[in-house]
Amino acid sequence: DSKIYCVCRSPLGMSRGQILDEDISASSQWSDSTAAKYGRLDCEEGDGAWCPEIAGEPENMNEFLQIDLRSLHFITLVGTQGRHAGGIGNEFAQTYKIKYSRDGSRWISWRNRQGKEVIEGNRNAYDIVLKDMEPPIIARFVRFMPVIDHSMNVCMRVELYGCEWLDGLVSYNSPLGQQMTLNGQHVHLNDSVYDGAMKGLGQLTDGMCGLDDFTHSHVYNVWPGYDYVGWSNESFPNGYVEIMFEFDRTRNFTTMKVHCNNMFSRRVKTFQKVVCYFRSELDWEATPISFSPVMDDVNPSARFVTVSLYNHMASAIKCQYYFSDIWMMFSEITFQSGDDPTHKVDDSNTRILIGCLVAIIFILVAIIVIILWRQVWQKMLEKVSRRMLDDELTASLSIQSETFTYNNNNSPSSVPSEQESNSTYERIFPLGPDYQEPSRLVPSTNTASKSTPASVQEGVPHYAEADIVNLQGVTGGNTYAVSALTMDLLSGKDVAVEEFPRKLLTFKEKLGEGQFGEVHLCEAEGMQDFMDEEFSFDVIENQTVLVAVKMLRADANKNARNDFLKEIKIMSRLKDPNIIRLLAVCMSSDPLCMITEYMENGDLNQFLSRHEPEGMIALLSNAPTVSYSNLHHMATQIASGMKYLSSLNFVHRDLATRNCLVGKNYTIKIADFGMSRNLYSGDYYRIQGRAVLPIRWMSWESILLGKFTTSSDVWAFGVTLWEMLTFCKEQPYSQLSDEQVIENTGEFFRDQRRQIYLPQPPMCPDPVYKLMLSCWNRNTKERPSFQEIHHTLLDCKP
């Protein structure tokens, strides 16, 4: 095979540890547990991967994971993987770029042979995706640069594959390759992957030898002549082409091999003579060496011409290659120096042999350990599921409820080890013959997730439950749960919320209260100055507007104050027509206040309770009505607002009609202060005095595993939709007690068709009920996204 680098594809030591922690660095890290050193392929230390701290706008972000290989390496393949962390993580780089450097100062962007910089990366958090470097990289430093956008948090684990670059060649400089016209066809003999201006490496060192017929190439979809750099004697009156080679240090050179085309029928021939000059230290040696190969007019195949360099010591070599016909074409030039290990072949073979034996022993031991471990594991799993099946749900819930302080560090961590152990075992040879299909290497993932509830969560990219900033909120309401990473994304810019003069607020009524504060409904004067054009149009000049004022008691502790500030930060970033906006704050004196929009018709629950569907009852009772199409319009707006929140990776955690506000013309804005209001205390379930939870709106996995994701918001959306279609005349599952609701949750988990679904409301069309049922799918992945929900609702518009 003329692709000489087929033999140069060994892992360089990210996963096995030959690359030391100190040689792995990064532009930033999200936390100590996601530092650069955890970016090792197939390793699960720390939080399972390197994750950059994302601050500022994604467009101008240059986050990277950098590996210092300590010497020049020939890199033929790279592997990437996301953060799986045994099922908790779901971050990966869908695309990334690579930069490399030979000296640590000049950085070069890698491009493939078609000139494309961006590399397709991972599609999920666990599979390893290997990419051939075409052309290969010759470098000491390599940077992986995830392409970051708003849709997803990114974490990476990586490996480099290749071998040490023993040539020591750092750069070459040759005259520009030329263009030949052959039967009217252009043959481009330029050095298309040369990575420098005057000093660089390119096609002559890319490890790829050209074919006998220079008009063809190994490489798919390139122009004729791609493999070769070639020159015509007409441009070189001296009769030779001079190429200068520079090396990393002074070396003792034995040979140079030049891969030449010899298609003499096309007037292409190997060089007839070469003269090489050597430079050690600063001076060029006076006497060059000269060599004339035997000309071959019989065999037209391309070949390596070996030139002896007679143990000259040099750090640079300049060679003049003399034409023997009109054209001269090279595809590869390599150098062998005396102090490289090629002459220690026996020695290294022995080492390889010993290495292999040790590896085999390790594998055997690992297999035995895995088998034993699996047996133990199987037993534990059986125990756990038996316990779940026993009527101990209530008991296990109270254990689980520890996690409802929203710090679920420990919730599912123990479960997925089976899959880890399996995959390690199956991935011992990542470079087996079928490496192009790395997903086949981890078949255990799916089976594991079927048998264990903890790995079910695979919804929206969500940084980690463990990192959710606790925004239990001053009023006891749980404001949006935000991954800490998103928080930082949000804090990139300074918060631009203006101070509002407190005296312009007039108290109207108390909407709710919590441990550290209260929510008041107020009238505000002059608020239009604080509103953007986009939503002040319906406010008449100099009129008062209704606002909700959330205030922190002066005696609140420091944590509550911090949470309040975080909440302001988050709220100030949310800009969507269907999400309540933060208008202003009062921060200059205590009590601290945040002023948000309030809508004249109050919350959707009260609003619908006051109304009736169009029909007989309404006619008889003379009650105000809401038509089905308006109901549908409101539901669509909720879906749209949630679509926006989910696009930012926000998890609401308490979506319900009580948290949606109704304005003029059935406009809806999603808010969040449900829990703080006594009116709705019946909607929340208090577990052992620890937390209050809206269990009737919560997905089974939120209740049993403490997992809150966009998929669990989707579940709550289904319940919200149901509330709307029943005009909020009754609580969801009103015939069940809280305990029975939790039991029902257990049935969802067990999935033996004993779970009870909310019934189809009389006025609910079949497609909408189908949508609801899909929101309550046991499998989070099979629930629709808010985007899909929004789309579906638009499609079935009455």
Ligand X SMILES: *[C@@H]1O[C@H](CO)[C@@H](O)[C@H](O)[C@H]1NC(C)=O
Q: Length of the chain, please?
A: 798
Q: Which is nearer to ligand X, 307 or 466 (CB)?
A: 307
Stretch that binds ligand X, among 2-10, 187-195, 352-360, 585-593 (CB under 6 A): 187-195
- When asked if residue 108 is in the footprint of ligand X (CB under 6 A), the reply is no
Q: Which is nearer to ligand X, 166 or 570 (CB)?
A: 166
Q: Which is nearer to ligand X, 179 or 588 (CB)?
A: 179
- When asked if residue 347 is in the footprint of ligand X (CB under 6 A), the reply is no
CA dihedral 359, 364, 366, 368 (to 10 degrees): -170
- When asked if residue 122 is in the footprint of ligand X (CB under 6 A), the reply is no
Do 258 and 299 touch, CB atoms closer than 8 A? no
Candidate list 313, 366, 531, 546; residue touching ligand X; CB under 6 A: 313
Residue 654 a catalytic site member: yes
Footprint on residues 576-605 left by ligand X (CB under 6 A): none
CB of 291 to ligand X, least distance (A): 18
Stretch that binds ligand X, among 184-192, 469-477, 488-496, 696-704 (CB under 6 A): 184-192
Residue in this structure with the two tokens 């309401």, named with its chain if needed: 477
- When asked if residue 710 is in the footprint of ligand X (CB under 6 A), the reply is no
CB of 223 to ligand X, least distance (A): 5
Neighbours of 339 (CB within 10 A): 14
Candidate list 13, 196, 288, 338; residue touching ligand X; CB under 6 A: 338
Candidate list 188, 257, 502, 750; residue touching ligand X; CB under 6 A: 188
Neighbours of 772 (CB within 10 A): 23
DSSP per residue, 159-174: EEEEEE-TT-EEEEE-
- When asked if residue 252 is in the footprint of ligand X (CB under 6 A), the reply is yes
CA dihedral 643, 644, 648, 650 (to 10 degrees): -70
Stretch that binds ligand X, among 14-22, 118-126, 185-193, 757-765 (CB under 6 A): 185-193
Q: Which is nearer to ligand X, 233 or 637 (CB)?
A: 233
Do 218 and 208 touch, CB atoms closer than 8 A? yes
CA end-to-end span of the chain, whole Å? 66
CA distances from 798 to 106, 342, 770, 793 (A): 62, 78, 16, 9
Do 227 and 221 touch, CB atoms closer than 8 A? no
CB of 98 to ligand X, least distance (A): 19
Residue in this structure with the two tokens 């080492």, named with its chain if needed: 351
Q: What is the C-alpha separation between 207 and 136, in angstroms, rounded?
A: 8
Candidate list 178, 192, 203, 659; residue touching ligand X; CB under 6 A: 192
Q: Which is nearer to ligand X, 253 or 715 (CB)?
A: 253
Q: Which is nearer to ligand X, 168 or 438 (CB)?
A: 168
CB of 263 to ligand X, least distance (A): 15
- When asked if residue 394 is in the footprint of ligand X (CB under 6 A), the reply is no
- Record the tokens describing residue 555, joined without a space: 């005696």
Q: Which is nearer to ligand X, 180 or 639 (CB)?
A: 180
Q: Name the amino acid, one letter, at 766.
A: D
- When asked if residue 465 is in the footprint of ligand X (CB under 6 A), the reply is no
- Among 511, 539, 509, smallest CA distance to 525 is for 539
CB of 205 to ligand X, least distance (A): 15
CB of 221 to ligand X, least distance (A): 12
Footprint on residues 207-226 left by ligand X (CB under 6 A): 223
Q: What is the C-alpha separation between 497 and 678, in angstroms, rounded?
A: 30
CB of 116 to ligand X, least distance (A): 13
Stretch that binds ligand X, among 188-196, 383-391, 614-622, 635-643 (CB under 6 A): 188-196
- When asked if residue 325 is in the footprint of ligand X (CB under 6 A), the reply is yes
Q: What is the C-alpha separation between 764 and 767, in angstroms, rounded?
A: 8
CA distances from 45 to 66, 80, 629 (A): 18, 16, 54
Q: Which is nearer to ligand X, 59 or 281 (CB)?
A: 281
417-426 helix and 444-451 helix, angle to the nearest 10 degrees: 170
CB of 250 to ligand X, least distance (A): 9
- When asked if residue 262 is in the footprint of ligand X (CB under 6 A), the reply is no
Which residue among 167, 325, 654, 683 is the active-site one? 654
- When asked if residue 81 is in the footprint of ligand X (CB under 6 A), the reply is no
Q: What is the C-alpha separation between 742 and 779, in angstroms, rounded?
A: 18
Q: Using the 8-state DSSP alphabet, how is residue 303 labeled?
A: E
CB of 261 to ligand X, least distance (A): 16
Q: Which is nearer to ligand X, 219 or 326 (CB)?
A: 326
Candidate list 234, 297, 390, 751; residue touching ligand X; CB under 6 A: 234
Contacts of 170 (CB under 8 A, 6+ apart): 72, 102, 103, 199, 201, 246, 247, 248
CB of 353 to ligand X, least distance (A): 25
- When asked if residue 331 is in the footprint of ligand X (CB under 6 A), the reply is no
Q: What is the C-alpha separation between 507 and 513, in angstroms, rounded?
A: 14
Candidate list 18, 109, 311, 740; residue touching ligand X; CB under 6 A: 311
Contacts of 675 (CB under 8 A, 6+ apart): 475, 476, 477, 478, 514, 654, 684, 692, 694
Q: Which is nearer to ligand X, 14 or 133 (CB)?
A: 133
- Record the tokens describing residue 505, joined without a space: 């607020």
Q: Which is nearer to ligand X, 287 or 436 (CB)?
A: 287
CB of 194 to ligand X, least distance (A): 6
**Residue 768 three-state SS:** helix
* Total residues at interface with ligand X (CB under 6 A): 12
- When asked if residue 326 is in the footprint of ligand X (CB under 6 A), the reply is yes
766-775 helix and 786-795 helix, angle to the nearest 10 degrees: 180
Contacts of 700 (CB under 8 A, 6+ apart): 745, 746, 748, 749, 778
- When asked if residue 233 is in the footprint of ligand X (CB under 6 A), the reply is yes
- Interface residues with ligand X (CB under 6 A)? 188, 190, 192, 223, 233-234, 252, 311, 313, 325-326, 338
What are the residue numbers of the active site? 654
